[in-house]
Structure 1
């Protein structure tokens, strides 16, 4: 996403000096932040957030949340012991999991290693259809943290729910001239796309929110309407047909985007050929950077909610990804998981 001259609340060009690399597992301050084809082509500051809407939306039955310890930032290991009981170990929440609701599956060191090496994929089971094997490596990149990779494995294998209705995954850019070195993208789901876009304007209107795209629609001219379908202007958007299991797609997208925004592996020179799944990262990895100061998430000044669909990406100072966080980093994640759900579960 290219920076633009702000009109109301626009993002200024990136700083000449690149933002410092985030700590591999650090929690960054999320103050005042407002994933098939997408509708448009296209020192970190704050971490990723997902929006908690003010109204209920159709959703699939979520996985049972990890057991938390009151007053502590820990959860109980999700793995089962040989005795058939849930492991009693408590694990500190990684920063990516802290911003996802419900909390993704998390495992202690012993069970994490076992889970990671136990199998390379799983069988998709659908009534009336032949079982199909899915390789994890075809969808889960190694530049993600090991906890993130395991969380995605669990979500990929989950059974579908009849409550998970068709819908859309939309993306806004939140423009804020006070934060020129980051790109803020709101990635959410909607059953009625145009209605949802209008609601956000009314609910949180103090910041300019620019539509960047949506899944599974397209803004490409179809040859019959002279490009009239190619608009990203609110009130002029033709949503097209909804995609299946939009809650499932959103969940997979959010887990991956939380990792990309907080750990920013795309800032590493070798990305995407970067391996952060090693339990003992090398000194050259993101985890070797100084740990930034932690801060609690703050409620939105407009609606009072703590938004958890907003992901803040440190802007690359140079290279292929400079100004292209949306079309080269975020958009492909949405396309990938939308394609996965369509191919194996629709």
Structure 2
């Protein structure tokens, strides 16, 4: 795959949509707020040879890095000879160049989050879901509670937030004070009945975002973004759009289904929102205005996860549906360029 070029400081977009096919991608540019020139940085990186057997039939759900070297991939592996499907968590300690399995349990991994040496994994089984926790970097796991948590985020080893699946499309915002052993219903923001919590992410104990969404349909989904500055006691609406509602140039759009949300911990005004059947979106002003990335194209190349360990350093997981590949990429300059570090076919 050719190197991708991006300029992400500021949000006025000048690039065109992604063009080309196969492994060639158009250069995408964003105008910077501090200078008038466009960056023209280049970087050549060739992905290493794949661990073929490990990634054979591996369909990742998403990924998370807690440093420039330590990261996690989670998803499903299907054994075509036996027909069995297992939920797998993979770990890398060298920036995504090599991976090894640290957990194989259940039929799918619902969600995962990590904080220093602590790791929480929600596993789907045939009958229910179970939350497992590791306090030693994933070497050992213990059952913390029986919860069906589709998204999680912990601000300390004790304090965490989650979205719990319910009947049908109904979800609940949950909170724990004891590391995930017990959960209580949290006070949700005031919202229309058609919105349900989808993903929650805190940059620290007091400041956090919550994304809500409606029932999806015909490639569209109503969405809302809230922000809290007091540890989730109250929430302020930042942006909202309903299905078939005309959105502004830099607001959230109804097109696409919410896939996930990532706030940059050291810079909470910087955040990413990715979508299925929609683009990767970026904000630098706490969600007031959004820019669509030229790296993604709905129903062709879509983001499955973004994890920024710092405002300049981070990782992205892409699914290339045209070529039937997953690609893990990294940036060390705030998204101006992305380099592939791992790829595999499915």
Shorter-normalised TM range: under 0.3
Of structures 1 and 2, the one with the larger relative CO (CA 8 A, separation 6+) is: 1
TM-score (norm 1): 0.23
Higher helix share: 1
TM-score (norm 2): 0.23
Higher strand share: 2
